[in-house]
Structures are given as structure tokens and as C-alpha cells.
Amino acid sequence: MTAYPLLIVTAVAAEADAFRAHLDPDRAVVEAVGVGPAAAAAGTARLLATGHYRAVLSAGIAGGFPGRAPVGSLVIATRSIAADLGAESPDGFLPIEELGFGSSALDADPTLVKALGTALPEAIPGEILTLATVTGTAETADRLATRFPLAAAEAMEGYGVAVAASGAGLPFAELRAVSNPVGPRDRAAWRLADAFAALRAATPALNALP
């Protein structure tokens, strides 16, 4: 039996509750740390400083890029990318790599990605964007889809969780259930129930992660 559990980090309690009822507490624990990359990084770092875990998973609902990840699907991150971390310029957005300030992308642990893909064969692999401001227009959605042709989904916490996990020397992965398409904001069209059902259905796979 593995000595330490997997830490599953969500933004809000409703996401954590979708997992909690079916988690094996010897294999995995789930905590909600708040919305956005800063809260995610700080909350995850606090949990890692006060507990022992074998790996970290950022999980919850997300927007899916049309044609790449439909509503109700699961997405497994190959990389978590801070898509709005950088600077504006007359020639367009400059990521922090071009500014010389580090990296805006962190690769998910390949062992965890492989295990998730095996346990959840219906899930879509792809990059997941982390944004402090959720996309709400077709123009922004098109711009992001062009900049990140491998992106399947966007959320608000993955990169922050990944930074904390990397700082602690722990493997990291990100799993998202798509509740809405990335684009014009239309809360009436969101299918939250379907996304939460997908998270609950994924729980047995999380119990089995290495």
C-alpha cells in the first residue's frame, strides 16, 4: 500500500464534494483552495507544507474549446499553461518566456497522464490553459485557440497548483470536466450537472492512480 495519499485540489467545495463521497481516504484526499491561480498556488503550497502526499492533481470543471473538447467530456492535461502571464505589445501578447522571466507552461507528470488515460480511455488529452480572467467573447476564444492549437480546455487554477507541486518536488497532473464551450459567456447554456456527473464517474480512476 502506498504510504501517502494523492492530493486532489479543487477550486470550490462543490467540486470537492463531487469526488469526496467515493474517494478511498487511504489513497486520495480532496481539498478546495479557492478560485484563481494565486489562491490555487497558495492553498496547495499550504497543504503540501502541512501534510504528506505522493502526488498532486488539480481537478474540477472547465470550459472546452469547440471542436476539441465537447461539453460533458473529460480532459487530461498534457501541460498546464498560464495563458495570460506575460505582457501586451504592439505586435501582440508576449509570454513570460519572451520576456526572460521563466516559463508559463509546466508539463504534467507522464506517469500520471498515462495512468489517467488508461483508467479513463474516453478522456481527451490536451493542454489546459489557466486564466485569471475566464474567456467571455468569441474574439478571445479565437485568439487563444490560435495561440494554443493543442489546448483542449481552460480553467483558472491548474498552473498555480502545478507551480506549488513543482516547488515541493511532487508529480502533478490536471483533470477537468467540461461544463461549457469556451467563448461568449452564456450561463444559461452551461451543463454543470453533466460536468459534475463526469467528475463523480472519474473518482474510481483517481483511487487507482500510482
Q: Which of 108, 113, 125, 23 is nearest to 73 (CA)?
A: 125
In whole angstroms, what is the distance from residue 207 CA to residue 22 CA? 9
- Answer whether 0.75 is exceeded by the pTM: yes
What is the rounded distance in angstroms from the CA atom of residue 99 to the CA atom of residue 86?
7
Give the model confidence (pLDDT) of 50-108 as tens digits: 999 999 999 999 999 999 999 999 999 999 999 999 999 998 899 999 899 999 999 99
pLDDT digits 0-9 by tens, 166-196: 999 999 999 999 999 999 988 888 999 999 9
Res 201 pLDDT > 70: yes
Taken in order of first residue, the domains within the chain and their CATH numbers are 6-207 (3.40.50.1580)
